[in-house]
Amino acid sequence: MPQTLHNGIELPGSWPPRYSQLTLKAAKPAYLESPPTVIRINIGRQLFVDDFLISHTTLDRTFHTAQYHPASPVLVPDHTWENKGMHFLVSRGKWIQGPSAMPFSDGVWYDPQDQLFKMWYMAGMLYGLCYATSTDGIHWKKPKLDVVPGTNIVHYSNRDSTTVWLDLFEKDPNRRYKLYRFEKKPRRGFVLHYSPDGIHWSDEIARAGEGHDRMTIFYNPFRKVWVHSIKATGRIEGLEDPERMVRYWEQEDLEKSPMWGKMDEALLWTATDELDPIHPDSDIGRPKVYNLDAVAYESILLGGFAILETYYAGKQNDRPKRNQVHLGFSRDGFHWDRPFRKPVIGVSEQADDWNWGNVQTAGGICLINDDKLYIYVSGRAGRRSDHQGGHRDARGTTGLAIMRRDGFASMDAMGKPGTLTTRPVTFNGKHLFVNVNGEVAAEVLDKNGQVIAPFTQAHCRPVTGDTTCQMVQWKSNSDLSQVAGRPVRLRFHLKYGQLYAFWISSNHTGASHGYVAAGGPGFTGPTDTVGQLHSRKT
């Protein structure tokens, strides 16, 4: 049966799509080529990462990058068990060690129950799963726990890529935390565990299907499915050799829903394409998608793509692989739009820096701390010398990058005022809110473009200044209930500055009822039900 999503996108009866081959051709998702006649905006802040919402504008779109917090790296290997584990380096023909304290996806979450930032990370070289906590997201503690007494190890086993998911939808308290761990020995595979506290984990519950080591998982709440992001290789139209790609598998229930068996049963999903630039030092030809983490953020799925540009094999074999973080956006939960083909969080070009290479996102991707997004990434400094027991993927640490809330893209008035008119939208709320740095006024139009009194530009009190959550008010009436439930257009008049997002809230707090990714101080669950009260609690 066809399904209509929260935003009005209609999915066909056969979903997700089943493609016989991926292609190098960069194609826009169908929902951008042919948007819904009427877009629903009841859930979440509405972002300007694409033209989905826009009918006409004289504003310019700018994509933004994150900036590293000066405290980075915020987590470093400083315990003996964080210098354990072994990795066989084929090029040198021997087993090596390397200190590490970084998420290899793993997860960074804010737990509203304990009111703590919590991080799960890889200790040592593919060694164990460790746990750290923080009250501010910057200064981290490694508590001594009872799993491996005297350490912060919470799961002692060989591992590769791992995902820890704080499931705030889970009704069984013993399954509040999910762990999918890629086990290398004695059997290769993605292994499911549960935990009530993120510290004490169950034995193996289930195994995923066939796959390679850099697998992850995320929950898509818009369709209520768990999605496996599966590292794979395969043929891409236009290329002679097999290419690195990501395959897809979804389940409503992690234990009971069908699982894929062989790799080719999982669906073809995504890879790099013709718009991804080749790095001048590339020794791999075209860039490759190395990993894909994802999370629901407000009204969209946010994808953290690690894009591999070069291995630095041979001429710089002390330097870690050049992975950098790119972002993608999806409104249907399957097709990705990557309009900004530059790294949002990148490597350093200075040898010996903590992020000299291999920068990748943590599971959960981002947290909301007041008016900022906190994005945790892994970085590697590489080896200093053989006698220190390292190699080019050694010295892994955790960095923190900062962005404005909703700050992936803005619509800008560049030197002169401009307007933005939405496509027809419907909503159930009462109050219009904006995220803006500048001065903006708004008016409400019927679906034919006629202004609806009293919501005119002349009666609008402009929002001025730098705010991530501010109500738009009109002089005589600011309650939009009289136009709720019927198609209208919103027109924004930006005198100067940047407009990042808008949304309709059911109350004066500005609660968006959108998803808050990995959470943050002040939020009580997986969605924003508090609005401006969130910032008062940080």
Q: Supply the CATH number for residue 234's domain.
A: 2.115.10.20
**Phi and psi angles of residue 457, each rounded to the nearest 5 degrees, phi first:** -65, -40
Going by pLDDT thresholds of 50, 70 and 90, the confidence category of residue 390 is low
pTM: 0.96
Q: Supply the CATH number for residue 422's domain.
A: 2.60.120
Last residue in a domain, options 375, 404, 433:
404
SS3 assignment for 402-428: EEECCCCEEEEECCCCEEEEECCEECC
**pLDDT over 60 at 126, yes or no:** yes
344 belongs to a structural domain: yes
Residue whose entry in the numeric block shows the structure tokens 């510290």: 199
With contact defined as beta carbons under 8 Å apart, do 170 and 185 qualify?
A: no
One-letter amino acid identity for 54? I
Residues 298 and 331 in one domain: yes
Q: What is the pLDDT of residue 298?
A: 98
Question: What CA–CA distances, in Å, run from 278 to 64, 185, 308, 329?
Answer: 21, 36, 10, 22
Residues 163 and 86 in one domain: yes
Closest CA to 324 of 290, 354, 353: 290
pLDDT digits (tens, 9 = 90+) for 1-43: 789 999 999 999 999 999 999 999 999 999 999 999 999 999 9
Residues 158 and 235 in one domain: yes
Closest CA to 402 of 173, 68, 3, 58: 68
DSSP 536: H
Full domain range(s) for residue 288: 67-404
Residues 467 and 373 in one domain: no
Residues 147 and 116 in one domain: yes
Residues 94 and 223 in one domain: yes
Last residue in a domain, options 371, 404, 437:
404
**Element (DSSP H or E) covering residue 534:** helix 533-536
Going by pLDDT thresholds of 50, 70 and 90, the confidence category of residue 536 is very low
Rg (CA), the chain: 23
Question: What CA–CA distances, in Å, run from 426 to 42, 79, 87, 171, 460?
Answer: 8, 55, 55, 32, 21
Residues 122 and 201 in one domain: yes
With contact defined as beta carbons under 8 Å apart, do 434 and 501 qualify?
A: yes
| 174-178, 208-212, 306-310, 369-373: range with lowest mean pLDDT | 208-212
| C-beta atoms surrounding 169 within 10 Å | 10
Which tokens sit at 386?
């053989």
d(CA 180, CA 106): 9
What is the tally of structural domains in the chain?
Answer: 2
533 belongs to a structural domain: no
Residues 125 and 218 in one domain: yes
193 belongs to a structural domain: yes
122 belongs to a structural domain: yes
Residues 261 and 383 in one domain: yes
Question: What CA–CA distances, in Å, run from 501 to 41, 279, 533?
Answer: 12, 33, 19
Last residue in a domain, options 360, 378, 404:
404
Residues 283 and 347 in one domain: yes
Residues 109 and 134 in one domain: yes
Average pLDDT, the chain: 93
With contact defined as beta carbons under 8 Å apart, do 390 and 384 qualify?
A: yes
* Mean pLDDT in residue range 417-421: 98
274 belongs to a structural domain: yes
With contact defined as beta carbons under 8 Å apart, do 143 and 197 qualify?
A: no
pLDDT digits (tens, 9 = 90+) for 58-103: 999 999 999 999 999 999 999 999 987 655 554 555 555 678 999 9
pLDDT digits (tens, 9 = 90+) for 422-477: 999 999 999 999 999 999 999 999 988 999 999 999 999 999 999 999 999 999 89
Strand order through the sheet with 216-220 = 216-220, 225-234, 243-251, 267-270
d(CA 156, CA 122): 11
| 184-188, 238-242, 329-333, 399-403: range with lowest mean pLDDT | 184-188
513 belongs to a structural domain: no
Residues 336 and 473 in one domain: no
